[in-house]
Amino acid sequence: LRLWFEAMWHITEQKHGANALGLQRALGLGSYHTAWRWLHRLRRAMVRPGRDRLRGTVEVDETYIGSAKPGKPGRSAEGKAIVVIAVEDTSVPGVTERGMGRIRLARVPDASSTSLSAFLQANVTPGSRVRTDGWAGYTPMPPDTYTHDIVGSTDLLICHLVASLLKRWLLGTYHGAVRHHQLDYYLDEYTFRFNRRKSASRGKLFYRLVQQAASVGPIPGRAIPGGRQESG
């Protein structure tokens, strides 16, 4: 049990994220694979069961992780993972700098209306104002659930900023070597860190992770996708 607490402290102490090799060295674990599995279990614990959905004005867009196959640009790009981003816009009228609240991230199979609608229902509180570009996957949006504002893609500034920060984080901490079927775990970690980015104390992050780990059921090894040779 002590080692698990040490692992949680090591993860939260690392400002930009921890990788399996670093955790193995810090804890003196016998194998890289053990450290890798521990990290994935703790990443899953970073998602609090029944967490509140976003509310207010929420900006939504998709981004793409990975390399596309030649000749397959844009939303139809093959070989890339599609990640939907939702960000609370907390901007104050008259203030130039855009304000950002909490975020939600999710990998989806495609950018269809079915996939995007399911994401919105799971992550955005009904009655919120949702801002998207004109992609058909966001329409029609039921009027009794959200107020829908359609803007130009270049106006989704805070979503684009979060997408840029996410990709930079994946590249800097994990050298971009994240397999698509394991991306969900990394999105959980990034969401946890981003939503607590203003915390002045690493100790508060540690306490929150311990608290959430205690509320999440056991995660058996077989539930973690992948094999022995993985990134992270």
Tell me the per-residue pLDDT of 33-73, one tens digit each, with 9 for 90 and over. Answer: 999 888 988 988 888 877 899 999 999 999 999 755 545 55
Mean pLDDT over residues 93-104, rounded?
A: 87
Instruction: Return the pLDDT at 93.
Output: 82
Q: Where does the pLDDT of residue 110 fall: very low under 50, low under 70, confident under 90, or very high at 90 and above? A: very high
Instruction: Return the pLDDT at 174.
Output: 76
Instruction: Return the pLDDT at 85.
Output: 98
Global confidence as pTM: 0.84
Query: Tokens at residue 207, please?
Result: 């306490």
| β-pair partners for 64 | 82
CB atoms within 10 A of CB 106: 19
Is 191:103 a contact under the CB 8 Å cutoff? Answer: yes
Phi-psi region of 77 (alpha: psi -120 to 50; beta: other; left: phi over 0): beta
Domain edges within the chain: 2-47+181-223, 57-162
Helix extents (H) in the chain? 2-13, 20-27, 32-45, 113-123, 157-174, 183-194, 202-215
Q: Provide the 8-state DSSP code for 138.
A: G
Tell me: pLDDT of 105 over 90. yes
Q: pLDDT digits over 73-95, tens only? A: 555 566 789 999 999 999 888 77
57-162 CATH = 3.30.420
Tell me: pLDDT of 178 over 90. no
Residue-averaged pLDDT of the chain: 85
Residue 217 vs residues 38, 45, 68: alpha-carbon distances, Å? 14, 9, 36
Instruction: Return the pLDDT at 230.
Output: 45
Instruction: Return the pLDDT at 53.
Output: 96
Q: pLDDT digits over 113-147, tens only? A: 999 999 999 999 999 999 999 999 998 887 789 99
